[in-house]
Structure 1
Amino acid sequence: MNRPLRVLVNGGGIGGLTLATALAERGHQVDVAELREQLEALGVGIIQPSNALHVMREIGVLDDCLAAGFEWEVLTICDPAGATLAKIPQPRMGDAPSNNGIPRPALARVLADAAVKAGATLRFGTTIGTLREDAHGIEAALTDGQVGRYDLVVGFDGIGSPLRRHLYGEKYAPEYTGFANWRVTVPRSPEVRGVVMSSGNLNAKALLTPISAEQMYLGSVFAEAEDFRPDPERAHEQLRERLAGFGGPIAEALAQITDPAAVVYSRISQVTVEEPWHVGRIVLAGDAAHASTPHLAQGAAMAVEDALVLAQSLDAEDTVPAALAAWEARRRPRAMWVQALSRAVLKQETGTATTPEEDELLKVGIPGAAHVLVRPY
């Protein structure tokens, strides 16, 4: 692109702030519209695998992420009793570390600071109200009364994306998978120096993920009715009941949970936008276009890859439409592969029947997927 662009990013989450930084560093004028009234991040912590850390290096915040989190190199597999079955070294992309666990609020602060430092404008308590596109750009009216003209509008506005509804109505509403994620932050056990995964013949899997020197989170996925919600008075007890067959470090982590409010419960849904992710100068990215189950720990990684590749595509192409077409050609196969394998692993781990296509994907497995995803994209 031979001129600076005006870009509106709807959504100030991980992907949106990464894009804002990448574009502002390249001299583009970027506004980020975030519906929340202030910078905050829901949930507990996330894993940044090596491909995500590669993106963090590219936008200049890798050291900040590592300082705020817990870098690790080895995945430990245990049986339900806690006995170690295997220790699997994790691959690296280039010179980025293998993995980093980080609290979501800490990552939000790192990315927001980087976006502002690069020159992006963050607007809280607002979202897109109306859009009018013509041959020369898009006029966007925000719900806080701000009106502006933009060369590009990007929807990093999550699995419930209002921008996706603007483009496609309810055609691609989130699909509940029948499973939900239970997570809770606890003090890190000294022996937990990387992800510890316990599974067996209990039709369940539990993970411990270090996210700082002091903290780790316990996570587990179970089949749950769509209308189920944990009891606010005994959510910690309900989680204990579901993981009653586990011993070792999982049981030790469970014993530390005394506050039901500390338990974070989220239904696992999926979105697959089968039509183009871009229409004119409007583009969907991250969970708005391709939300996956969490079984490869690649949801946020796919979002930040989307962001970096979009910035690179705008560098390489002469027009916005050409850049969006080139971006989607690079991103769709990889994101859809992650989504398909993540869903297959979910079905396998919970005893749900898989298709022949999913059986082929499962031959790659979680360790194999890590090696696939550190290849250049």
Structure 2
Amino acid sequence: MTTPLHVLIHGGGIGGLTLATALARRGHTVEVVEARHELDALGVGIIQPSNALHAMDEIGVLDDCLRAGFEWEVLTIADPTGATLAEIPQPRMGDTPSNNGIPRPALARVLGAAATAAGATIRFSATITELTDDGAGVDVTLSDGSSGRWDLVVGFDGIGSPLRSRLYGDRYTPQYTGFANWRVTVPRLPEVRGVVMGVAGQEAKALLTPITDELMYLGAVFAEAEDFRPDPERALEQLRERLAAFSGPVAQALASVTDPAGVVYSRISQVTVEEAWHVGRVVLAGDAAHASTPHLAQGAAMAVEDAVVLAHALDAQADVPGALKAWEERRRPRAMWVQALSRAVLKQEMGGATTPEEDELLEVGIPGAAHVLVKPY
């Protein structure tokens, strides 16, 4: 496609800002609308596996990510006391590192700065309120009263995507898996130089993930009732109760936490848009189209892959509809494979029943999946 496009991206998260940077660097006019009033990402830290770092290299921010985070190469499996059971080297995609842990706010700053430097505009406290696609373009009205016409509208607006609801009604609402993620940021222990996965049978698993030289986060997944929410005053105590089987570095990490407000709790839900991810010139990407459980650490990686592959498709195809069709044909099999294996790993680790199809996926396992996902996206 040789004619520059006018592109509206609904959502200023990891995928949306990656796409904004990729497209603006190619000369397209890009505007990002974000419901929040600033790029202050929620949560603690995030793992960028090698395929995600490859996408960061494509948009020119790999070095910024590595400077802001903590690069690591080996996954360590440990028993409840912290004694090492196995050390598993992680594969690389090309010349990019195996993994990088990074605080979510730091990644938001890196990507926001890159998008702005490339020429994209980021508009805060705004969402889409009206949208009309006439086949040749999309007329959009925003919540701040402004309006415009766009060649392409992309929904990178997360698992609760308002744009998905606009396109498909309530057919694809998030489905709670029955499990939730507990996380808290703590000082990095010197011995934690990569992800340390502590396992206590099928009852509990705890991850220690370095995100800077000074910081790491402790994460743990447990079965939780759908209506459960931690008591704001007892969240830390409740997390300690769930991790009582662990001593060693997990207990040491917990002992360093004094404020229950630092405990971040999030239910693990999943979304699969079974129909086409694009309707006319409006397309969903990332968690809006295919949210997965976190068990392969690939949710954000799938979003940034979606972004750079969409930019490639717009380069290669003669028109927007052709580009969206080619993009989805390339992305859907990989994203659905990640989603299916992630869910199978969750069920296996928590002692749930698995289907024959999931058992076949589980033969690949987490180490095998890492090798699959360093192949070209």
Note whether the superposition's TM-score is higher than 0.5. Answer: yes
Deviation at 1:313, TM superposition (A): 0.1
> For residue 186 of structure 1, what is the aligned residue in structure 2?
186
- Which consecutive aligned stretches of 4+ in structure 1 deviate over 3 angstroms post-superposition? none
The one-letter amino acid of 1:306's match is D
> For residue 297 of structure 1, what is the aligned residue in structure 2?
297
Compute the TM-score of the two structures, normalised by the length of structure 1.
0.99
Give distance in 1, aligned partners of 2:88 and 2:166.
Answer: 44
> For residue 112 of structure 1, what is the aligned residue in structure 2?
112
Deviation at 1:202, TM superposition (A): 4.7
Deviations along 1:101-134, one digit per CA (max 9) or x if unpaired, are 0000000000000000000000000010100111
2:200 and 2:246 in contact (8 A); partners too: no
The one-letter amino acid of 1:222's match is F
1:186 and 1:217 in contact (8 A); partners too: yes
2:202 and 2:351 in contact (8 A); partners too: no
> For residue 140 of structure 1, what is the aligned residue in structure 2?
140
Deviation at 1:276, TM superposition (A): 0.2
> For residue 172 of structure 1, what is the aligned residue in structure 2?
172
Q: Report the secondary structure of 2:338's partner residue.
A: helix
Give distance in 2, aligned partners of 1:299 and 1:114.
Answer: 21
Deviations along 1:155-208, one digit per CA (max 9) or x if unpaired, are 000000000001100100000000000000000001100000011325111000
Give distance in 1, aligned partners of 2:135 and 2:76.
Answer: 55
RMSD, matched Cα: 0.6
Q: Report the secondary structure of 1:85's partner residue.
A: strand
Number of residue pairs the alignment of both structures matches: 377
Deviation at 1:257, TM superposition (A): 1.3
Deviation at 1:376, TM superposition (A): 0.9
Give distance in 1, aligned partners of 2:48 and 2:146.
Answer: 35
Compute the TM-score of the two structures, normalised by the length of structure 2.
0.99
Q: Report the secondary structure of 2:186's partner residue.
A: strand
> For residue 151 of structure 1, what is the aligned residue in structure 2?
151
Give distance in 1, aligned partners of 2:18 and 2:259.
Answer: 34
Structure 1 residues 1-377: aligned runs within 5 Å:
1-377=1-377
The gaps in structure 1 that reach 5 residues or longer are: none
Q: Report the secondary structure of 1:375's partner residue.
A: coil
2:272 and 2:289 in contact (8 A); partners too: yes
The one-letter amino acid of 1:165's match is S
The one-letter amino acid of 1:279's match is V
Q: Report the secondary structure of 1:342's partner residue.
A: helix
The one-letter amino acid of 1:310's match is L
Give distance in 1, aligned partners of 2:194 and 2:301.
Answer: 18
2:347 and 2:353 in contact (8 A); partners too: yes
The gaps in structure 2 that reach 5 residues or longer are: none
Deviation at 1:258, TM superposition (A): 1.1
Percent identity of the aligned residues? 79
Q: Report the secondary structure of 2:122's partner residue.
A: strand
Deviation at 1:97, TM superposition (A): 0.3
Deviation at 1:364, TM superposition (A): 0.5
Give distance in 2, aligned partners of 1:55 and 1:363.
Answer: 28
Give distance in 1, aligned partners of 2:252 and 2:56.
Answer: 33
The one-letter amino acid of 2:343's match is R
